Amino acid sequence: MSSLILTYAAVGILLALVSLPLIGNKVRPNPIYGFRTRRTLSNPEIWYAANHYAGIQLFVAGICTALLAVLLALIPGVNLLSYSTISAFAIIIILTVAVIRSMIFANSLDD
């Protein structure tokens, strides 16, 4: 089970690392990397503001995922199947919340 814990923790850390260029406004508008919507791609000011916010959301999601991976393993009686199931659902929920919050923020920005 230790390799599974490391895998889920690594996914969380990777999400946090991928978010850093977004937070630092280092990613120019492009069709591949960033919080891409028609609206963000059409206006650089909206792009940078939305990607900064989405980067923060992704960073928090990554840290939460990594922490959950470790903390869940410390609960007595958690077996491999329950660990995998809870971790997978938690990642989906955490990322869904991050995306929804980012969409709401991006939609609130003025053109």
Q: What is the pLDDT of residue 17?
A: 98
d(CA 104, CA 110) in angstroms, rounded, equals: 12
Residue type, 82: S
Q: What is the pLDDT of residue 1?
A: 67
Sign of CA dihedral 60, 63, 69, 75: negative
Instruction: Please list the pLDDT of the chain residue by residue as tens digits (111 residues).
Output: 688 899 999 999 999 999 999 999 999 999 899 999 999 999 999 999 999 999 999 999 999 999 999 999 999 988 888 899 999 999 999 999 999 999 999 999 987
Whether pTM exceeds 0.85: yes
Cα dihedral: 25, 26, 30, 34 (round 10): -60
